[in-house]
Structure formats: structure tokens, C-alpha cells
Amino acid sequence: MTARDRAFAEEAAARLRPLIDAAKTAVLLTHVTPDGDGIGAEICLHSYLVSRGIDTRILNTDPLPVRYRFLDARGAVEVFDRARHDAFVRAADLIFMLDNSAPSRLGTVEESTRASRATTICIDHHNISDPFWKVNIVDQEASATGEMVYRIIQALGGRPDFTGAQAAYVSLVTDTGYFRFGKTAPRSHEAAAEMLAQGVSPPRVFAEVYERHSASFVRLGGVALSGLRLEEDGRLAWILLTHKQVTDCDAELEDTSDIVNELLTIDQVRVAVLLKELPDNRVKLSFRSKGGLDVNRVAQTFGGGGHTNASGAVIPGRLADLIQPVLEPCRELLRRGA
């Protein structure tokens, strides 16, 4: 870990230490449709706060995806229910928002969070912060929010247990694309090595996260990829999924964001896009890129966000009407970056 990284973790720990020392209750949150980084950061931090004797609850708006359920052997992740959880959120001492700074992406728990008496804390590695949070700990250079949480716990004098280390490792590998995205740094591998020393098994993590697809998902991927289109001299690849195609494959509950990653394996492709029709007159957009081409900026124009090389959004409208408006900023990105 570099001197800069160590100093950042120690400064973050100094800001958090008096808050954690005084806390009796805490709530951990992440964005809607949580990914491996958000979930990993939550579970890692939960393990530490519980070890400190703090009554801590992870409250998400969506159930854990199948691929991440192995992380939660203790059953810590709950789906937010206003009747059962509103009072706890409003009375909590601390609320941590992980891997996201936008309150609008909290989903059903946003109202309770805004009404809470808690000291609100955002820990994130994206390049946007929101003034709603009383404490913002943002490191744009970090590979993953889970990596930040892991280092901050160490700076607080703690040692993440196996559950926390495994969760932080999932944060790292999912948000770095298994150490191939641009934010991957020596500290990422150093942190991973420490996690492996605590017993984390790379084969098991890979199998759980990437080898638990259903037959429906595989069929749907084939349907999507069969409609591959290439533009901009082969540098832009895009695919569509209609709601009928999804239902015909019996894949309504599948997370299709990984399908677009396959497009980046094509030689010359620099930007890849998946447009998926949802049943309520909305379209889910998944953007991927290579190198320094920042698809996060494209996603932000549609009210979404994410990372330089992997971002997404959900927008209203008909699939047929949105194809060209979505693709045009991708073409412009390639032309400016050429």
C-alpha cells in the first residue's frame, strides 16, 4: 500500500472512530439492484461493526442475487420493509451508504433515511458525492468500495474476519473485472493477497459468482448475441433484448448485465451496449468499454452511472424509439476518443 493510500485510510479512520465508538445502532445501505461491490462492502463492514458490539442491520431494497448468497451465511442481509424497519432506520445512530452517493438510488428506504436522526456516512469510490451525507469518504482511485472498507477497518485497528475478507474479495474481483479494468493497481493485488491469506478461496468465489447461471440465462445470452450489430468500423457493438425474448427463454428474473461483456471479447470493439426492454415501458441500458473510454459519462446523461468501463441506466420509453438516441453518444465517444 502506498503512502497516499495509507494516509487516506488513516484519515478516514480518524473521522469515523469517534462516531463508531459512540454508536449503539447502525444501518448499512447500498444502491438498488446491488452488485458485488455494494454487497461485499456491506457484509465486510457489518462483520466489523457487529464485532464492536453495535446492533447493525443491512437493509437493501432487493433480495440478494443468487450468485452472492454464499457471502451471507449469517443471514445479515434483509429486504427493507417499512412496517418492520422504518423505526430502526429513523432511530439509528449511524447510517452508512456504500458504493453509491445518490439518495435517489436508495429505492424504498430513501424516505426513512432522509427522516433519520442518524449521522449519515457515504463510503464510495465513484467520482460523485452528494451533500446529503454528513460524512463523505470518497476515493476515486480505489478499485472498489469493498477495498476501501477493508483498509479503513485495518486503520481502525480491526482485522476483518473470514466473512469480511471474502466479501471484500468479491468487491475487488467484480469491480475490477478480475483485475483487468483501468483502476486495478498494485494495492488491489496486495489487498487480494491479504484476503487469500485469511482463507478466501479464489476457485470457490469464481464458481459461486460466475458459474451459477441457469439454462434460461444461457439461452437468453445466445438469443441476444445472435442479433449482434457492429458500427464505427467495428469499434461499437450493440445488442437488443425484447421483453418477449426474455419471457420466451423463461428468464424474467435473470441479471443480463453480464451478457454485454461478451461483446468486448471481439477484436476491435471498444464500446459495447445492451438495450433490454422491461415490461413497464422502460429500457435497461448496460454500457461497457475498454481503456480510457468513459461510458460512465454516457450513462449519466440518461440518469444512470457506474464506472469508466462499466455503467448502466434505466430509462422510460419504447425500445424501438430509444435505440438511436442511446447509440449516438456512444458513437460520439468513439469519435472523440479515436
Q: What is the DSSP string of 233-275?
A: TTTEEEEEE-HHHHHHTT-TT---TTGGGGGGGSTT--EEEEE
pLDDT in tens, the chain (338 residues): 788 888 999 999 999 999 999 999 999 999 988 899 999 999 999 999 999 999 999 999 999 988 999 999 999 999 999 999 999 999 999 999 999 888 888 889 999 999 999 999 999 998 777 889 999 999 988 999 999 999 999 999 999 999 999 999 999 999 898 898 778 889 999 999 999 999 999 999 999 999 988 899 999 999 999 999 999 999 999 999 999 999 999 988 788 888 999 999 999 999 999 999 998 899 999 999 998 899 989 999 998 887 888 888 999 999 999 999 999 999 999 999 75
Place of cell 454485454: 260
pLDDT of residue 338: 57
pLDDT of residue 98: 97
CATH number of the structural domain 215-337? 3.10.310.30
pLDDT of residue 140: 87
pLDDT of residue 180: 82
Residues of the chain with CATH 3.90.1640.10: 3-210
pLDDT of residue 43: 98
Sequence-distant (6+) residues with CB within 8 A of 282 are 314, 315, 316, 317
Complete edge-to-edge strand list for the sheet that includes strand 77-79: 77-79, 55-60, 25-29, 94-98, 119-124, 135-138
Per-residue b/e over 313-332, b at no fewer than 16 CB within 10 Å?
A: bebeeebeebbeebbebbee
Amino acid at 90: R
Q: Which CATH superfamily is domain 3-210 in?
A: inorganic pyrophosphatase (n-terminal core) (3.90.1640.10)
Residues of the chain with CATH 3.10.310.30: 215-337
Place of cell 489487498: 191
| Residue 313 · residue 302 · CB < 8 Å | yes
Place of cell 465517444: 333
